[in-house]
Amino acid sequence: MTFDNLTESGIRRMASYSPYLDQLAALANEMGLRQRSNLVHLERSLNKEWSLGANSILSWSPLDDGVLVLVVPHYAIAEYTAAPADDSGLPQKVSARFITELISGDRQLTLTQMQKVSRLLDVEPRFLPLRQALSDNPVETQIIEKMIRRYGINYVASRAVTLFDIVGFGLLTPFEQMTQLNSLSYSLNSSHAKMLELDVGINFARSSSGDGFYIWNRDHGLEANVNLYHFMHLVLADNAIASSKATSNAVPRLRACFHVGSCYEFHQAEGLNPTMHDFIVGDVTIELARMIEAAMPGQILVGDFLAQLQAPSIDNVDSQVNLDAVTFLQRAQGNLAKLSGLELSGEKVSAIKCYLTGERLESGEFSIRKLQIKDKHGLLRTAYNAKINIYRETAQPILLGIEDKKLSTGPMPT
């Protein structure tokens, strides 16, 4: 394919070679055809360096009519932080923190940074020639960042994830398992559509847990995490409405957990290419898996987290804020105005209340009860019982979660 024959069909073929052009089609139109063809060429070069998953691409830097990339064997990241093999007593060249920072956030380095990192890792950068120099177009940079992450590993220090689990999934027939997973998938898609109609941004991703799905927001920050929590509400509400109308065993009975923690994101190999869909594994998924084991049918558990999140300050400068689970839920409740105008099963929602349960105090207010969960390994962790009440103008309210007084048969309170 040459620059002279980039017809409309040619552009479509380009998108198939570099799916990011298709994902960011509206933005990619801001670039010329030569730039897009240049990115297709880069995608092919990165795929070759990836070598069917044998290598991982860490960083990149533009240089003249091409880019420099740091390419290491897929197992090397762990080895860089391992203790020296000999007894020389020499200090490690790099620390685990250095590697973590390298695979966090943006992957583009300045030429000086690239040279420094390559010396520390004892790896020569590889030069990938392009058909023309990069243009510094922000969309072009965004697409390249996506490419690099697809062929490497990404660390996220604070990611909100929710886990939907189908109760009694292992006791269902294969046909029932299929129909219930399909029903849950529909609830996810339907809730996503409702949020988009209200202009509430959520770029959700999913990964199968076997009995359900891990769901996370690809976007970062406090607002993105709060939006994911509300997304969980809508999924559970859609499921509850479907369950009330079902006459067969096609709709699952759910339990859910929400937590914020660190994770690694990666793209599994599928055939000869990495998938477009990312997967996650880390502290946040481990905590969710342990919590869900103790959750009762219909229960919603929130982990006891302390998350470092980016939040815009008054002067529009991003700042770090530390939020515990209780404060996060307070923020989430205050953020519910975004969902005004929402309709569920044809009924307009008049109010939504989300809260952590506890005992009624003499003052008439309620405490927040901490639940202590012991997992199958004998490890203890703390969680909270959550309730969501969705009130509709003329229909019966949708009450999600379980009441605090029913916890005597569930996780033991501290």
Half-sphere exposure of 71 (CA within 13 A, CB side): 18
Q: Is residue 373 part of a domain?
A: yes
Considering the domain architecture, whether residues 296 and 329 belong to the same structural domain is answered as: yes
DSSP track, 107-136: -B--HHHHHHHHHHHT-PPEEEE-SS----
- For residue 130, what pLDDT band results from cuts at 50, 70 and 90? very high
Label residue 311 left, alpha or beta by phi (over 0 means left) and psi (-120 to 50 means alpha): beta
β-bridge pairing 300-303 and 254-266: parallel
Tell me the one-letter amino acid at 113.
Q
Considering the domain architecture, whether residues 147 and 160 belong to the same structural domain is answered as: no
For residue 18, give the DSSP letter: S
What's the confidence (pLDDT) of residue 35? 84
Dihedral sign (CA 61, 67, 73, 75): positive
> Of 63, 42, 165, which Cα lies nearest the Cα of 118?
63
Q: At 168, is the secondary structure helix, strand, or coil?
A: coil
User: Rounded to 5 degrees, what angle do the CA atoms 389, 394, 397 make?
Assistant: 20
Domain limits for position 105: 7-151
Among residues 124, 151, 178, the one where a domain terminates is 151
Q: Is residue 397 part of a domain?
A: yes
User: Rounded to 5 degrees, what angle do the CA atoms 64, 68, 74 make?
Assistant: 170
Considering the domain architecture, whether residues 218 and 125 belong to the same structural domain is answered as: no
Tell me the one-letter amino acid at 78.
A
Residue 210 CB neighbour total at 10 angstroms: 11
Considering the domain architecture, whether residues 366 and 260 belong to the same structural domain is answered as: yes
Tokens for 147? 């490419």
Among residues 151, 181, 205, the one where a domain terminates is 151
What's the confidence (pLDDT) of residue 67? 96
The mean pLDDT of 102-127, rounded to a whole number, is 94
> Of 297, 302, 309, which Cα lies nearest the Cα of 287?
302
The sheet with strand 66-73 has its strands ordered as 55-63, 66-73, 126-129
What's the confidence (pLDDT) of residue 80? 77
CA 207 to chain centre: 9
Considering the domain architecture, whether residues 122 and 160 belong to the same structural domain is answered as: no
- For residue 9, what pLDDT band results from cuts at 50, 70 and 90? very low
Considering the domain architecture, whether residues 80 and 194 belong to the same structural domain is answered as: no
Considering the domain architecture, whether residues 192 and 317 belong to the same structural domain is answered as: yes
Q: Is residue 1 part of a domain?
A: no
pLDDT in tens, 282-317: 999 999 999 999 999 999 999 999 876 665 554 555
pLDDT in tens, 165-219: 999 999 999 999 999 999 999 999 999 999 988 888 788 899 989 899 999 988 8
Considering the domain architecture, whether residues 18 and 57 belong to the same structural domain is answered as: yes
Paired with 412 in beta bridges are 372
Considering the domain architecture, whether residues 115 and 241 belong to the same structural domain is answered as: no
Residue 213 CB neighbour total at 10 angstroms: 21
Among residues 133, 151, 169, the one where a domain terminates is 151
pLDDT in tens, 234-291: 999 999 999 988 888 999 999 999 999 999 998 877 767 777 778 899 999 999 999 9
What's the confidence (pLDDT) of residue 338? 78
Q: At 229, is the secondary structure helix, strand, or coil?
A: helix
Distance CA 115, CA 125 (A): 8
The 10 Å CB-count burial string (b at 16+, else e) for 278-294 is bbbebbbbebbebbbeb
Q: Is residue 65 part of a domain?
A: yes
Considering the domain architecture, whether residues 79 and 109 belong to the same structural domain is answered as: yes
Count of domains forming the chain: 2
Q: Is residue 2 part of a domain?
A: no
Considering the domain architecture, whether residues 376 and 284 belong to the same structural domain is answered as: yes
Crossing angle of helices 174-197 and 222-245, in 10° steps, is 130
Considering the domain architecture, whether residues 138 and 38 belong to the same structural domain is answered as: yes
> In this structure, what CATH number is given to the domain that contains residue 313?
3.30.70.1230
Distance CA 60, CA 108 (A): 5
Paired with 63 in beta bridges are 66
> Of 77, 303, 310, 336, which Cα lies nearest the Cα of 198?
336
Distance CA 242, CA 219 (A): 29
Cβ-contact 307, 226 below 8 angstroms? no
